[in-house]
Structure 1
């Protein structure tokens, strides 16, 4: 694997969160809140005829230092703007003088059950529309540009977005954390017996969110939702609902068309890629096989340990003059938060 880029510390897990599973489950077991100041609710109507909207919460720092990029944070599968890792990153960004938008994907957060369509791993048109609207509607807020950070499923979406044509000029860079860059390999890994508890929990959450959507009897939507009820695996869910609802023949076509691995070579703006090789959900082979050195815009931060969107490490790993995200009387953010702040410093 490539060496750590300059200025980024190694990841060291902290007790008692040893091993990939405890790293992955820590936020679920502890449910940290990460208090944030009151933000402004924003709505982003989609211009695709569905009437759907995306929602987010915008926070502005008490003291902004220069034209710092707006940080747009996007959650993973079955998450929302209130996922602990999103709130933690927003707090770290605010502490360093960046405005932060906690964005809900289509059909997530306050719009569960209130949209005609739902997000998926490659729905970059929604993100592109939000970023363009932010740049056009908030010129002061985006004067320093935009950095978008995606976690888990949204990490795949963000990498795909960065490698596609039509990226809004205001986007200066991106970060992807624990991204399933090969969706087919990730789906197969989820079917392994060791991942059955994760699999069942995620499938239950996905079904609940999707079945909350309205559908007219006899419509295509009603047929797709019936397939959701029948699904016994995430592959079944993708094959019977996600693929046909979005115009693909089957799950394998959905995976092939939307896997970020196809788009990494097209990324030309700085993009930090954070991943742990012991991630229980995502096979390490696609990360190991990719030629990172041949693509200078990509900054691989690939470490041996950390689980899936875990990275709960020692708090004695300061970066710069003080731990990133640390406020008077408070604690530093997570290792990933500190790496995001380091990435933002390199853009400055």
Structure 2
């Protein structure tokens, strides 16, 4: 089911590019840190098991006293981290709604490049599912409390794939939500190549820094030089796919983590998706073409950019409240 969002930003915030830029700004990052610090939650970092010797890192937060109504797993976007503004702000809203929260770093995100020798890529869903099971076993063992999962952008893509595999993996998964999830990576790559150069330059710079850090951490294993790092996004991705994945071609790699078209039809948990008509990275037409089960819902806003949905000069966001609200409304208090 597709519905029109109630989100309506003030006139000065209706540019999708301003929304997208401010969403990743240092000011908003500081705002997220302040809100989480003021929440009174107790937060603690953990190393979790990704299977086959893989280690991932995350942060668990909960309010002192009482029993949480459920455990929320949050997944960040590409080159984001558990400290991204939207991750912290969503955690705050979920904590207020009575959830405990685990924010998970993907491999090679945040300060985790040293934990695993092999590079991150977007088809590493098995380790994220395995980590989710470890998180559930740690914090839900012996209880009948449910687990929910949410993500933003690439994290939204991962959240949807976790939801597809969750029940089979033994996760007590009750619901999933995704904000501006990446649906078809091939389409998004072309969209960034043809759009304003800011988005492509931003992700290229972030990924190059990450690859450089990985090379410096494992110099005996990675010997690529700066000429590789100067490749544009498509060719740098092709280089990575051909040398550091089991996929034969770039198209095979993109198809491996696409959730477009009918790929979400097999979801067996309720799912909510939020996107905007003016998202400069992910075309809204992809959401109209999705085939979801009867318990799947898509909310489309006229404005919001890519993972923006900012509401005021304070840079608080509708999306973070939306995620917490969907989970809180669906589960008993």
Normalised-by-shorter TM-score class: 0.7 to 0.9
Partner in structure 1 of residue 185 of structure 2: 183
Structure 2 CA distance for partners of 1:96 and 1:332, relative to 1, 3 Å: farther
Aligned-partner Cα distance in 1 for 2:227–2:253: 16
Aligned-partner Cα distance in 2 for 1:67–1:32: 26
Aligned-partner Cα distance in 2 for 1:211–1:60: 35
What per-residue deviation string (whole Å, max 9, x for no partner) do you get for residues 68-96 of structure 1? Answer: 12111111011101100001001111111
Measured on the aligned residues, the alpha-carbon RMSD in Å equals: 2.5
Q: What secondary structure sits across from 1:191 in the alignment?
A: helix
Aligned-partner Cα distance in 2 for 1:161–1:91: 23
CA shift, 1:333, in A, is: 5.4
What per-residue deviation string (whole Å, max 9, x for no partner) do you get for residues 208-236 of structure 1? Answer: 1122114455x6x435x77742422x211
What per-residue deviation string (whole Å, max 9, x for no partner) do you get for residues 234-263 of structure 1? Answer: 211221114541211122111012101253
Partner in structure 2 of residue 31 of structure 1: 28
Partner in structure 2 of residue 328 of structure 1: none
Report if the CA contact (8 A) 2:149-2:163 is conserved.
no
Q: Mean Cα displacement is larger for which, 235-244 or 331-340?
A: 331-340
- Map 1:160-175 to 2 at 5 A: 160-164=161-165, 166-175=168-177
Partner in structure 2 of residue 321 of structure 1: none
Aligned-partner Cα distance in 2 for 1:67–1:158: 21
1:346 aligns with 2:294: no
Report if the CA contact (8 A) 1:231-1:237 is conserved.
yes
Structure 2 CA distance for partners of 1:15 and 1:106, relative to 1, 3 Å: same
What per-residue deviation string (whole Å, max 9, x for no partner) do you get for residues 44-66 of structure 1? Answer: 133324xx4211111111354x5
1:210 aligns with 2:214: no
Report if the CA contact (8 A) 1:190-1:196 is conserved.
yes
Partner in structure 1 of residue 259 of structure 2: 260
Structure 2 CA distance for partners of 1:243 and 1:44, relative to 1, 3 Å: farther
Q: What secondary structure sits across from 2:59 in the alignment?
A: strand
The number of equivalent residue pairs is 319
What per-residue deviation string (whole Å, max 9, x for no partner) do you get for residues 93-142 of structure 1? Answer: 11111111111111111213543123333321122111211222223596
Partner in structure 1 of residue 285 of structure 2: 285
- Map 1:224-243 to 2 at 5 A: 228-232=228-232, 234-242=233-241
What per-residue deviation string (whole Å, max 9, x for no partner) do you get for residues 4-45 of structure 1? Answer: 4xxxx6111135322111111113343342222441111013
Report if the CA contact (8 A) 2:180-2:276 is conserved.
yes
Q: Please, which of 272, 294, 298 is the counterpart of residue 296 of structure 2?
A: 298
Report if the CA contact (8 A) 1:113-1:211 is conserved.
no
Q: Please, which of 42, 48, 53 is the counterpart of residue 52 of structure 2?
A: 48
Q: What secondary structure sits across from 1:110 in the alignment?
A: coil
- Map 1:185-204 to 2 at 5 A: 185-192=187-194, 194-204=195-205
Report if the CA contact (8 A) 2:156-2:182 is conserved.
yes
Report if the CA contact (8 A) 2:310-2:316 is conserved.
no
Report if the CA contact (8 A) 2:23-2:307 is conserved.
no
CA shift, 1:304, in A, is: 2.2
Partner in structure 2 of residue 324 of structure 1: none
Structure 2 CA distance for partners of 1:67 and 1:79, relative to 1, 3 Å: closer
Normalising by structure 1, report the TM-score: 0.83
Normalising by structure 2, report the TM-score: 0.87
Listed as ranges, the gaps of 5+ residues in structure 2 are none
Report if the CA contact (8 A) 1:128-1:168 is conserved.
no
